[in-house]
């Protein structure tokens, strides 16, 4: 028991500063009355400049890193498919949601906040050697999960899905600044040479502020959401997202004999809070907006404990 408590307290101690930054951002908006325009501007800067620079910087040195095991994609996205199906069943049988609302509910159980939360926490808890694995998941994350949702929604509406819809999804993913940063950095790494100093220094400086700024911005964003509606649905989404998905990922990683670092990376990413894209999709279809907003806020709070617990369990299991 003392070893367990020591390990858990150490994991919480490491991740606590990150959640303090989120709380700072929340307080600036909630109590400091910072206008929404500041949050929107910071969000645009983080997503379009700082994080792409950070990911480009990491991936430009990819040739120096040991090869990434692609079984991590099977562990992460295999679990996404299983949990999404479970989410659709729960939405229909327990909450009697219609099919589109059920698709959004199920998406909440698998779509992690891997950009604003996953990258900083992976860096602190697992070190920079984890970032190539994180980047590999990010490359496929939007494409696979948006495709899964598109197929589910289109099938709900028409009983079929179109190639044109999947093509639009692919184009939107390739236009994402984060994906551009990852792919362009990977392309540079094929040259197997460092960046010129005149480019490396500004990219490194911008990348160094990406993690803390993204957390403050996340906290500012959370202060805008209402959390009074659909609490039962939001708690169920949190249960799927924070408990069922990382458990499923770990099981697949174990079954496929995925190496320790990659296993911890995918379990950590799977244990992240619900991503903002779930709320945006709920707004688009005008379904489940209250539970989607509440699940974002609650899962961020709960993840301050559940993510360190998952890392502690993996450490105790010898990962």
- Tell me the percentage of the chain whose pLDDT exceeds 70: 87
- Six-digit token string for 314: 């993996």
Mean pLDDT of 73-102: 92
Measured distance CA(112)–CA(91) in Å, rounded: 19
Mean pLDDT of 192-210: 90
Angle between helical axes of 231-239 and 289-316 (0-180°, round to 10): 30
Using one digit for the tens of pLDDT, what is the confidence trace for 219-259? Answer: 888 787 766 667 899 999 999 999 999 999 999 999 999 99
pLDDT band at 154; cut points 50, 70, 90: low
Mean pLDDT of 158-174: 65
More confident residue, 22 or 24: 24
Per the CB < 8 A criterion, the answer to whether 59 and 135 are in contact is yes
Measured distance CA(25)–CA(138) in Å, rounded: 24
Using one digit for the tens of pLDDT, what is the confidence trace for 287-314? Answer: 888 888 888 888 988 998 899 999 989 9
Measured distance CA(278)–CA(148) in Å, rounded: 13
More confident residue, 9 or 27: 27
**Cβ neighbours of 131 (radius 10 Å):** 23
- pLDDT of 83 strictly over 90: yes
Read off the pTM: 0.80
Measured distance CA(114)–CA(6) in Å, rounded: 27
pLDDT at 161: 57
More confident residue, 262 or 296: 262
Nearest one of 148, 175, 1 to 87, comparing CA atoms? 148
pLDDT at 95: 92
Nearest one of 184, 164, 173, 175 to 145, comparing CA atoms? 173
């Amino acid at each position: 028991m003392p070893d367990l408590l020591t390990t858990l307290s150490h994991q919480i101690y490491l991740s606590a500063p990150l959640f303090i930054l989120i709380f700072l951002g929340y307080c600036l908006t909630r109590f400091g009355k910072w206008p929404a325009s500041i949050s929107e501007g910071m969000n645009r800067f983080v997503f379009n400049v700082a994080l792409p620079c950070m990911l480009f910087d990491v991936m430009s040195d990819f040739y120096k890193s040991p090869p990434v095991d692609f079984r991590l994609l099977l562990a992460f996205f295999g679990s996404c498919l299983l949990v999404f199906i479970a989410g659709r069943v729960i939405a229909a049988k327990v909450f009697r949601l219609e099919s589109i609302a059920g698709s959004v509910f199920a998406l909440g159980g698998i779509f992690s906040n891997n950009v604003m939360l996953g990258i900083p926490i992976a860096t602190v808890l697992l070190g920079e050697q984890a970032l190539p694995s994180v980047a590999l998941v990010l490359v496929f994350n939007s494409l696979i999960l948006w495709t899964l949702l598109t197929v589910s929604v289109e099938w709900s509406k028409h009983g079929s899905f179109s190639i044109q819809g999947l093509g639009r999804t692919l184009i939107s993913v390739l236009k994402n600044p984060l994906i551009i940063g990852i792919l362009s950095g990977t392309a540079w790494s094929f040259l197997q040479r460092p960046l010129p100093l005149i480019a490396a220094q500004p990219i490194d400086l911008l990348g160094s502020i990406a993690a803390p700024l993204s957390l403050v911005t996340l906290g500012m964003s959370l202060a805008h959401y209402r959390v009074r509606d659909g609490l039962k649905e939001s708690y169920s989404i949190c249960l799927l997202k924070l408990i069922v998905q990382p458990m499923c990922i770990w099981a697949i990683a174990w079954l496929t004999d995925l190496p320790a670092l990659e296993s911890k990376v995918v379990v950590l990413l799977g244990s992240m809070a619900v991503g903002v894209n779930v709320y945006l999709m709920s707004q688009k279809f005008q379904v489940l907006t209250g539970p989607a907003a509440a699940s974002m806020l609650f899962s961020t709070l709960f993840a301050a404990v559940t993510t360190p617990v998952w890392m502690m369990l993996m450490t105790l299991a010898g990962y």
